[in-house]
Structure 1
Amino acid sequence: MHFFSHAPQPVQKEVEAFWYLNLSPEQQAAHDKFLAHLTDTKQLLVGHDDRYTLLRFLKARQWDVNKATIMYTNMTKWRAEHGTDRLYETFTFPEEDQVIEHYPHFYHMTDKFGRPLYIELLGHTDAAKILEHTSMERLMDYHIVEWERLKREILPRCSLLAGKPIITKNVILDLKGVSMKNFGHAAREILTKIAAIDQDYYCESLGQMFIINTPTVFRLIWAVVNPMLEERTRRKIIILGSDYMPTITQLIPEDNLPACLGGKGARTDMKTTIGPWTEVELPAPGPAAMAAATAAAASPAKEPAAASPAKEPVVASPVKEPMVTVPADTVAVTVGNGIIAAH
């Protein structure tokens, strides 16, 4: 983790961004052992039994199969107890507009590798006011459903556009206007619960995180936040001041940054999803697609190529007809991501 440097900082390279396509022989052996163990003990969860999900849990536990097994089975138990699949299908959040007024966050375009960009404007966030409009339980359910939408809807479409599996997102946290009052008791409680969900059940889904416009008081704030994060998460965080553009634009084209962060991307609100994936229709899963996925997983991964950013932002809207022609060989990317299998 880089802290408060004014010089441009190094960002993820392609081989780091697509670590799951560049496994060492030892890592591949760990995956094979992990898969065999979960299969033999009947602990694989349908919809979360694909190659990339297993690799995420292995990486989160430093490729230790025993530790990864414990983490994976804890995840499957949590999903069953929380009814996560049903929550995704049935949850409604009529208080969303009121919550977003005090917690502006949105997806906006992709980085140069085709990974979606998620942004939070923490200087405009007031945790106490959020909880005036919703309960902590409903806020956590909303957070979980947002994760499920990313996994089931956004990442598979980004994979189709990139022509290879996209399994992570990039995050920008804008701290402009933040003070210690933003991190009172309610904020700490929300952060603690969110950090546990993110790291325990949606592990290794973060590509890179940029924390920008950090105020002087951030060192005190970081002392509160830091203990909530595992070291593997901290290593992905770059902390910057107001001179963040030279660092961020190494990974995210200026055209793909919203104007509120100094980019050229148009944005009319702090809610609407804007990105090329909104005009992609996913192919329905089926035996042919699953067979293609199995064949793709058995084949050596090709060296990934950087995805070209979309030139024009696309505002999310219901898609009735597919706007992108999907080549047959990219179906394996989506199904192989294991994201739409639970539909």
Structure 2
Amino acid sequence: MAVVSQSAINQLMSLMDQVDEPLKRTFQNVHQGYKVETLERFLKARDGNVARAHKMLLDCLHWRLENGIDDILSKPIVPTNFYRGVRESQLIGVSGYTREGLPVFAIGVGLSSFDKASVQYYVQSHIQINEYRDRVILPAATKKNGRYIGKCVKILDMSGLKLSALNQIKLLTAISTVDDLNYPEKTITYYIVNVPYVFSACWKVVKPLLQERTKLKVHVLQGCGRDELLKIMDYSALPEFCRREGSRASRRGGNTTVDCFSLDHPFHQQLYNYMKMQSGICEPTRPLKHGSVRVEMPLADPKKAEFCKALATEWKKFQNQDDLSWLHDIKISD
């Protein structure tokens, strides 16, 4: 991973001091008072190259202005029952914090269906969670711990992953590209748990295509990952899918706690109430039509396109095997 020098930070700082006022205003929403740490993130994302980091940051700020990202937290997806459908099909939540105070984001990769709304609603929801993380959750964690906390931990649950997930690769690529270009270096570690065989096989093929910086962040854990994760967080911070080994690990919800993916979970309740407060609206008494926020999704870089192509190719191999499985059944029955 690139080590960012103080000289590089100073150079980028000097360049950013020269941008015009609209860009400075949206930059404030990005750095939240921690300008040096933010410049360091963009420099790391561009291997310490000041010119490339400067371009990346300027592109990010223009993207924010052109798509109204500064105001996106005042545009809740309404009505609530429609938003509940988004939450039930785009599984993400905050299950707690590590012992170092980093928020733990749980993501249900395998069981997310993305079939309750249009692509734009899912992109809008993802960006709103990013912005809430950066403007509310991380500043609160920084204040509580008495030191700067600007990153999170993500736990990706592969339970229920099916070959049909290939149909969502375009949406997932768009979302990850938004993160790569506009929210770089916000995740310190990705833990992947409840891994089925199909993922393990594909991972061997696509892992070599990842940047070294990314590979160092990704840890594929055995089973539900409980024992490894308990080294960095308390049991109460574990997502539900990490608390039980075996077939029960993939089940959502439970009798004692609220599923962290659910709209009823405190994280989502606080997020949604925050957005309603920012928008100045109350819960409508009758159905309310509210269009999605149109966000321009940047094109993935060639390396990511290569990664996705390799993943799709490997995935289709398993799909073809699955399509021919009935022949195997006939042979067995004979």
State TM-score, norm by structure 2. 0.67
Measure the CA separation in 1 of the matches of 2:100 and 2:10. 27
After superposition, give the CA deviation of every residue in 1:281-339 in whole Å (9 maximum; x if it has no partner). Answer: xxxxxxxxxxxxxxxxxxxxxxxxxxxxxxxxxx85979xxxxxxxxxxxxxxxxxxxx
From the superposition, tell whether residues 145 and 123 of structure 1 become closer, same or farther in structure 2 (CA, over 3 Å).
same
Aligned residues: 253
- Please give the per-residue CA displacement for 1:182-209, whole angstroms capped at 9, x wherever unaligned: x222x10111101101110000000111
Aligned AA (1:250):
K
Kept after mapping to 1: 8 A contact 2:56/2:181: yes
Conserved 8 A contact 1:111-1:251? yes
Task: Kindly provide the amino acid, as one letter, of the partner of residue 66 in structure 2.
Answer: E
Structure 1 portions without partners, runs of 5+: 1-15, 279-314, 320-343
Residue in 1 aligned with 2:257?
267
CA distance in 2, matches of 1:225, 1:142: 28
Higher mean displacement: 200-209 or 35-44: 35-44
In the TM superposition, what whole-angstrom CA distance separates every residue of 1:256-296 from its partner, at most 9, and x where no partner exists? 21444217995223224557xx9xxxxxxxxxxxxxxxxxx
The separation in 2 between residues aligned to 1:137 and 1:206, in whole angstroms, is 23
**Structure 2: how far apart are the matches of 1:273 and 1:250?**
25
For residues 274 and 265 of structure 1, what CA distance do their matches in structure 2 show?
A: 16
State the Cα distance separating 1:90 from its structure 2 match. 2.3
How do 1:189-208 residues align onto structure 2 when only pairs under 5 Å count? 189-208=170-189
Q: Which runs of 5+ in 2 are unaligned?
A: 245-253, 275-334
1:111 offset after TM fit, Å?
A: 0.5
- With over 3 angstroms needed to count, the CA separation of the structure-2 counterparts of 1:144 and 1:228, relative to structure 1, is farther
Greater helix fraction, Structure 1 or Structure 2: 2
User: What's the offset of the Cα at 1:240?
Assistant: 1.7
Counterparts of 1:116 and 1:252, CA distance in 2: 10
Shift of 1:63: 1.6
Shift of 1:121: 2.2
* Residue 59 (1) aligns with residue 44 (2): yes
CA RMSD of aligned residues (A): 3.0
> Structure 1 pair 211/67, CA: closer, same or farther in 2 (3 Å)?
same
Q: What is residue 163 of structure 1 aligned with on the other side?
A: 146
Structure 1 contact 195–228 (Cα < 8 Å) conserved = no
Structure-1 separation of matches of 2:208 and 2:92: 24
Deviation per residue, 1:225-281 (Å, 9 max, x gap):
769964423321101231622321222222321444217995223224557xx9xxx
Aligned residue number for residue 169 of structure 2: 188
Which residue does 1:114 correspond to in 2? 101
State which structure, 1 or 2, has the greater radius of gyration over its C-alpha atoms: 2
SS at match of 1:246: helix
* Residue number among 148, 151, 170 corresponding to 2:134 in the alignment: 151
Deviation at 1:222, TM superposition (A): 3.6
The 5-angstrom pairing of residues 54-133 of structure 1 reads: 54-94=39-79, 95-127=82-114, 130=115, 133=116
- Go from structure 1 to structure 2 and tell me whether the alpha carbon gap of 1:216 and 1:208 turns closer, same or farther (over 3 Å shift): same
Contact 1:259 1:266 in 2 (8 A): no
Note the alpha carbon deviations across 1:44-71, whole angstroms, 9 max, x for none.
Answer: 4333352221111111112211110011
- Percentage identity across paired residues of the two chains: 25
2:104 maps to amino acid = L
